[in-house]
Structure 1
Amino acid sequence: MSRHLVTRANTAIFGVLVAILLLVGGVTWERFVAARSAREWSQHTAQVLTALKDLAIAVRDAETGQRGYLLTGSDDYLAPYQASLGRVTLLSGDLQRLTADNPAQQSRLRDMAPVLQRKLEELAQTIQIRRDVGLEAALRIVRTHLGRDLMRQIETTVAAMTAEEQALLARRQAETDSRGNLVRWLVTAGTALAVLALLWAARMLNRAWSRSYQAEAEHRILALRLRTSLDSLSQGIGVFDADRRLTNWNECFQVLLMLPKAMVRPGTPYVAFAEHAAEGGEALLETEEQLRHGRIAQGEPITYERNRPDGHHLELRRTLMPDGGFVLTVTDMTKRAQAEGVLREAQKMQAIGQLTGGIAHDFNNLLTVILGNLEFIRAKLSPTPDLQRRVERATWAAQRGAALTGQLLAFARKQPLAPTPIDLAATMPDLVPLLRRTLGEHIDVRYVETAGLWPAMADAAQLESAVLNLALNARDAMPGGGRLTIELANKLLDEEYARRHAEVVSGDYAMVAVSDTGHGMTPDVVARVFEPFFTTKPDGKGTGLGLAMVFGFVKQSGGHIKIYSEPGEGTTVRIYLPRAVGNAMSVAQLGTAPVELPRGSGTILVVEDEPAVREIAVAILRDLGYRVLEAGDGEEALKVFGAHAAEVDLLLTDVVLPGAVRGREVAERISAIRPTVRILFMSGYTENSIVHHGRLDDGVQLISKPFKRDQLARKVAEVLTGPDSPRGNVVELTPRRNS
């Protein structure tokens, strides 16, 4: 088809399109004018309705002013009346003008005019009589109900006119909407027809002429999209042809494989990349031999993983293409590997927590019975060395079992913590003499601190136990002697460090580092050192729970722990505790218990579902001089308290109780009845009733099972004589020496 014919055909098509557009434009203009007229009529109707409403309001205001003047005789009430008289006249004229085109409305106005006039005269007459004669004369006119009847006639007429105008408004709005819809349909139809005609003309007349140009443009767009897509990926993409030469790539391909820019260019053979990637030691890419002889099923990629020298973990995937080439995809899996490690740790923690929580309660109950009875027996035994020694051995074994359970709870982050701001500069120096005595003379203990140390937020007792555990591990790593260094410092763990350690939150931390010059550990041992029951010591020399307990305590405190060790170079364990805001205290400030056990005369309600535990607790307390009431569950405890409400000074209750009423609920109900009753919880496993996010709730007092006789005596005395104690005479502040 010649260009001249194409031009003539295009001219004819465009002439038709112009005619169609003119026709649509004319119809659209006509409908637009009609719509504008309908809108003006709608506005006119709205004006009429407004005038009718204002007229009714003006008459009502005039009547309101008249009533006020009749009742008070004050001219101040005539202001609305006088203002309304002018408005009634003005609004009546406006209505006459606005409804000039509506005979029905004009007729209603004519009928309403004399009624309106009589109403105004009635108002004026009553006002004048009230002024000239008095209230009673005016009220006689009002009682004729003439004004009320006239007002009803006015309101009826106004309502009829309003209904008429609203009906007119509805019809005009419907007409406007109908015309608007028609205009929209016409515009839409005309536009669609014009677009279709234009597309048909362009397709039929210009297809051959523009085919080559469109194909070229499509290829440019596809190439640009491919390049943009490749560069936007966080994965490295390298495309190789059938001769294993590079054809396409993105920037991440060069970055992840650490390739020089000069090497990454079209035509570079694959073997060059493989050789360069193998220069650092471990080969990152498959060799040429592996490519040549490796078999791959159609459509199934080959996937393998490699570690870069800088520690990044890469996943490489080779996918065949139909032309014999392949696509090499490189993915940095470092963060994913870290996240999987954190997930595995969390799952392991959950499993340990479930196992520990399942056995801790019952096991600690048994240990409480054993320890309590042993303590009770030892206090009553005659000083027979053999018997005392056997009791002490049994007590040591029971305490050892309690320590193991406590370490399991610590690792599983199930132990209740009472974190407070701790002044490390005041706490750690007090531990150094204890460590020197504990570790022996062959260990040189050194202490280093930085000026201006931040206070740490942690449980002071657990922190002391953690440092002691680390020191004992360091001693075992230096059998021939060595140096133990305790270092305190302020540390800022920044965002970069937090990105490399998925479980860390960036911020300020107080650091406690314990270093030794022992034999050190290999990387595979370091990777498992915090696992429960993992130990490198000989059988019978360790439980494998010491470092696990430290790990659990630090994590539960919201901190971070890091271990550095090399064979023959020693080990450093760094504990990062959250920086505390507020006044700090040292461990020494917490005070120590007196040697003699405090005794008392108060009344204690003991609630424990395990009979043997309840029996020994009751026996210990009674032996200390207290009057003891006991209950086996929550419901029984409430009944016992109800019978002795005025006598009970302290509630000692287990947290985990059978039945519908748990220990926390028993305490809340008793506190609601008598807020002065002191509350002390006891438990070997606290669930989540009084411990949340690993910390004791504010104001909660807890004694952990298993407890010894002196621990129970001192804790009860502490709670009964605490701040704001209502009854200080229930405990002897100068205790008698135990018999």
Structure 2
Amino acid sequence: MNAGLASGSAPNSGADGNTVRARLDPGLIALLISFALLAAALVGALFLVRGQLQAQHWVSHTLEVEEQLSSVLSGVQQAETGQRGYLITRDPAYLEPFTSGGHGLHRELAELRALVSDSPEQSARAATLQRLIEARLDRLTDFVEMIRRGDTAGVAAGVKSGVGLGQMRRIRTLVEEMRSHEAGLFAVRSHDASWQAALLTLWLAVTAIGVAVVAYFVTRSAMRRAHAAAWARDAAEAAHARLLAESEQREAAEAQLRQLGKMETIGQLTGGIAHDFNNMLAIVIGSLDMAKRRIGKDPVKAAQSIDSALQGAERAAQLTSRLLAFARRQPLAPAALDANRLVAGMSELLRRTIGETIRFETVLAGGLWPAFIDAGQLENALVNLCVNARDAMPEGGRLTIETANTYLDDAYSANHAEVTPGQYVMVSVTDTGTGMSAEVIERAFDPFFSTKEVGKGTGLGLSQVYGFVKQSGGHVKVYSELGVGTTVKLYIPRHFGEEDRRTVPAPEAELPRGRGEIVLVVEDEEQVRIMSVDALRELGYVVIHASGPVQALAMLGEHPGIDLLFTDIVMPDMTGRTLAERMREQLPRLPVLYTTGYTRNAIVHNGMLDHDVDFLAKPFSIAQLAAKVRQVLDGGK
């Protein structure tokens, strides 16, 4: 049994020995010592840095005191100079440096006393200096008052007395004493700062040694762990590769779905365009064909057919305009606008539009900010919204237009794409109609999407409103509930300034006519050029025309008396804007009227017309041409 005990005791002894060796491992002890040294070095460095910062602060403080003493002495000298100039010249202009110097000295002295408040000795000198300077300023002021009373003899006697000279001598002496005291402090404080810097350098060196020791042990430990981490890294890389492959497959599938969605949208858009344009072309072509057949036999019916063709063409032009609005490509001319005035001015029109079965009301905010928007396009948008609201209330209801100042904050912007935080003018249209479901709201702004019966709408009304407001830098939000009604809110950028109070001229009963002015028409499309030339001649203008910019420039020498350039923008060789600049080199005051059917060009940037251009969009009627040409020639904008 004893032998058993003896033999059983050996393993315990071995275990104890291993534990002791682990506790006394030299590497572990060195690591602990290194950490302790590093901690001590860091703590010491922190105290030294603090001491050095204090020393540097006092050095800076000494320099500030010396600079303030210089400012005080300079202020006294400025007051002396201004007073002396006034005594000599009697010119009140010299009193300005005297007055400003006196006012500045009170502030400078207060700052000086605050700077030296840590030193009783310097504080006493600063108080004495303030009394001397105030006495000197009082004496200078007395001399100024004596001159104003004409007492030159009193001034001369005062100067000869030498009191002022003694005052300045005492002031300078006291300033020098304070400077000498600060210079001594500066030397002591500079020495302290240098000593703190040297001690800090030593401590940093000790810290660097401690860091090197710690780095050695950490590196050796890291190398041991690196082998264990290698296997984990390889496993992670393999898992990552599998995830990448799965992610690529998922992205490819999502891309296919997005492409299918785009094709479906494009198909819906082109189908809607083709459907509507085919209907309108059928009206135009059929009506013109009938007019051609009736022109000789029945002029009245031929005229009716021509009117039908014009109506179809106008509907096609409106469709193009709505498509451009949805695509944010229509040319806009925004200006400061009072939305309250615009809504009030449209009220009668809107009442007639929605009918008598619907109660119409407006809630106009007081103190409404000016909005920055194209007034004509905003009117069209409100008419579109009111027509939609009317159609949603077949049995009558209430339609409300409201205005308000509002602010869209960062939180709202984060939840709504393309919204810039800031101040907006809100114009809303609310109805008590059938409302819209969530699915319909999501598609409400899609082109050619409509819940109305076939033939009751193009499906472009809301998409036009959406594109116009977005192009103007605003935001559109729809709130709706089935059976309750719908609210469409237009957030229009605020204009920081006064609203545009210019009145829009009323349409004339007869077309404005020319007064024999010479108009140069430049258009590369022959049929459009012929139409424009005929229309302008019909309106009483003398017309010359060119098929391109090069020909137009060549004609300039033959016709130096041109009164107006009417030019297309997108043409071969050069743009209409470049042509106008070339022509204005010879005719600096030449008015220019641009026209185009494509708005993304030299005079439209970010959807906004340049401020210095006049523009007539294609297609245009003779009435629109007549009004715009007359407006440009008369200098109206």
What TM-score results when the alignment is normalised by the length of structure 1?
A: 0.49
User: Is this contact kept in 2: 1:655–1:686, CA < 8 A?
Assistant: no
Name which of 611, 617, 627 aligns with 1:714. 627
Matched residue type, 1:427: L
CA deviation after TM superposition for structure 1 residue 707, in Å: 0.7
2:430 is the alignment partner of 1:515: yes
2:593 corresponds in structure 1 to 680
Does 1:493 find its partner at 2:408? yes
Amino acid of the structure 2 residue aligned with 1:699? D
Give aligned pairs, total: 402
Counterpart amino acid of residue 596 in structure 1: E
Q: Are 2:381 and 1:469 equivalent residues in the alignment?
A: no
How many Å apart are 1:388 and its aligned residue? 2.8
* 1:419-472 Cα shifts (integer Å, max 9, x gaps): 000011211111111011111111111111111001110000000000000000
User: CA 1:656–1:522 in 2, change beyond 3 Å: closer, same or farther?
Assistant: same
Instruction: Give the aligned residue type for 2:605.
Output: H
Q: Secondary structure at the match of 1:575?
A: strand
Asked if residue 409 in structure 1 is aligned to residue 347 in structure 2, the reply is: no
2:191 corresponds to: none
* Deviation, structure 1 residue 355: 8.8
For 1:549 and 1:7, the matched residues in 2 are separated by 84
- Aligned equivalent of 1:700: 613
CA distances 1:572-609 after superposition (whole Å, capped 9, x unpaired): 000000001222136x8222221111211100010111
Cα separation, 2, equivalents of 1:717 and 1:381: 35
Query: Higher helix proportion, which one?
Result: 2
Query: What letter is aligned with 1:648?
Result: I
Which one of 504, 519, 522 corresponds to residue 419 of structure 2? 504
Q: Does 1:567 align with 2:507?
A: no
1:597 aligned onto 2:524: no
List per-residue Cα deviations over 1:168-200 (Å, max 9, x = no partner).
xxxxxxxxxxxxxxxxxxxxxxx99xx89x969
| Native 8 Å contact 2:403 2:427 kept in 1 | yes
Residue 557 of structure 2 aligns to a residue whose secondary structure is: helix
Aligned-partner Cα distance in 2 for 1:199–1:495: 51
Over residues 384-432 of structure 1, what are the superposed CA-to-partner deviations in whole Å (9 max), with x where a residue is unaligned? 5423322221111000000000000001010000000001121111111
Distance 1:408 1:496 in 2: 32
- Find the aligned partners of 2:626 and 2:343 in 1 and give their Cα distance: 29
Give the aligned partner of residue 369 of structure 2.
Answer: 454
Query: Which secondary structure state, in structure 2, belongs to the residue aligned with residue 665 of structure 1?
Result: helix
What's the CA shift string for 1:247-298, capped at 9, x where partnerless? xxxxxxxxxxxxxxxxxxxxxxxxxxxxxxxxxxxxxxxxxxxxxxxxxxx9
The equivalent residue for 1:647 is: 561
In the aligned structure 1, how far is the partner of 2:326 from the partner of 2:311? 22
Tell me what 1:79 maps to: none
Question: What one-letter code is carried by the residue in structure 1 that aligns with 2:609?
Answer: L
Aligned pairs (5 A) from 1:16-415: 385-415=300-330
Quote the Cα distance in structure 2 between the aligned partners of 1:616 and 1:6: 105
Per the alignment, residue 626 of structure 1 pairs with: 541
Separation (CA, whole Å) in 1 of partners of 2:442 and 2:553:
52
Distance 1:605 1:518, change over 3 A: same
Question: Residue 608 of structure 1 aligns with which residue?
Answer: 523
| Mapped pair 1:662 → 2:575 | yes
For 1:544, the equivalent position in structure 2 comes to 459
Q: Deviations over 1:116-140 (max 9, x none)?
A: xxxxxxxxxxxxxxxxxxxxxxxxx
Contact 1:421 1:457 in 2 (8 A): yes
Q: 1:398, 1:605 → 2: CA distance?
A: 27
Alignment partners' CA distance in 2, 1:382 and 1:714: 35
What amino acid is aligned across from residue 578 of structure 2 in structure 1?
A: E
Distance (Å, rounded) in 2 between the aligned partners of 1:663 and 1:682: 9
2:377 & 2:479 partners in 1: Cα distance?
22
Name the CA shift for 1:477/1:673 in 2 (closer, same or farther; >3 Å).
same
The letter of the residue matching 2:492 is L
Deviation for aligned residue 1:383: 11
| Partner deviation per Cα, 1:193-213 (whole Å, 9 max, x = no partner) | xx89x969x98xxx9xxxxxx
Letter of the 1:692 counterpart: H
SS at match of 1:450: coil
Q: Matches of 1:462 and 1:503 in 2, distance apart? A: 21
Question: In the aligned structure 2, how far is the partner of 1:411 from the partner of 1:6?
Answer: 79
**Counterpart of 2:65?**
none
The CA RMSD over aligned residues, in Å, is 4.7
* Larger Rg computed on CA atoms: 1
Q: Report if aligned partners of 1:608, 1:631 keep a CA contact under 8 Å in 2.
A: yes
User: 2:570 touches 2:601 (CA, 8 Å); kept in 1?
Assistant: no
In the alignment, residue 412 of structure 2 is paired with which amino acid? Y
- In the TM superposition, residue 665 of structure 1 has moved relative to its aligned partner by 1.1
Letter paired with 1:655: I
Deviations 1:25-54 (A, max 9, x none): xxxxxxxxxxxxxxxxxxxxxxxxxxxxxx
Would you say 1:431 and 2:352 are equivalent positions?
Answer: no
Give the drift of 1:698: 1.3
Deviation at 1:5, TM superposition (A): 14
Q: Is the CA contact 2:569–2:601 (under 8 Å) kept in the aligned structure 1?
A: no
Question: Counterpart of 1:555?
Answer: 470
How far apart are the structure 2 equivalents of 1:302 and 1:579? 50
Does the residue aligned with 1:531 lie in a helix, a strand or coil? Answer: coil
- Matching residue of 2:584: 671
Going from structure 1 to structure 2, the CA distance change for 1:383 and 1:5 (only over 3 Å counts) comes to: closer
1:7–1:499 Cα change, 3 Å: closer
- Alpha-carbon distance between aligned partners in 2 of 1:662 and 1:703, rounded to the nearest angstrom: 16
What do the CA deviations read for 1:605-644 (whole angstroms, capped 9, x no partner)? 1011111111111001001111101111121121122321
Comparing 434-443 with 592-601, greater Cα deviation is found at 592-601
Provide, for residues 313-346 of structure 1, a one-character-per-residue CA deviation record: whole Å limited to 9, x for no partner.
xxxx9xxxxxxxxxxxxxxxxxxxxxx9xx99xx
Q: Normalising to structure 2: TM-score of the pair?
A: 0.56
Per the alignment, residue 131 of structure 2 pairs with none
Q: 2 CA distance for matches of 1:8 and 1:414? A: 79
The runs of 5 or more residues in structure 1 that have no matched partner are: 14-190, 208-213, 220-297, 305-316, 318-339, 725-739
Matched, 1:480 2:395: yes
- Closer, same or farther: CA 653–299 of 1 in aligned 2, 3 Å: closer
Q: In the aligned structure 2, how far is the partner of 1:412 from the partner of 1:8?
A: 77
SS in 2 for 1:474: helix
Residues 524-571 of structure 1 show CA distances to partners (whole Å, capped at 9, x for unaligned) of 000000011111111121111111100000000000000011111111
Aligned equivalents of 1:643 and 1:556: distance in 2? 43
Match of 2:128 in 1: none
Q: Which amino acid aligns with 2:626?
A: A
Instruction: Give the partner amino acid of 2:315.
Output: R
- Give the whole-Å Cα distance in 1 for the aligned partners of 2:458 and 2:523: 31
Paired residues of 1:656 and 1:686 also in contact (CA < 8 A): no
Query: Residue 503 of structure 2: SS of its match in structure 1?
Result: helix
CA–CA separation in structure 1 for the residues paired with 2:499 and 2:25: 95
Q: Which residue type is aligned with residue 561 of structure 2?
A: E
Kept in 1, the 8 Å contact 2:369–2:495? The answer is yes
Question: Out of 336, 345, 348, which is 1:421 matched to?
Answer: 336
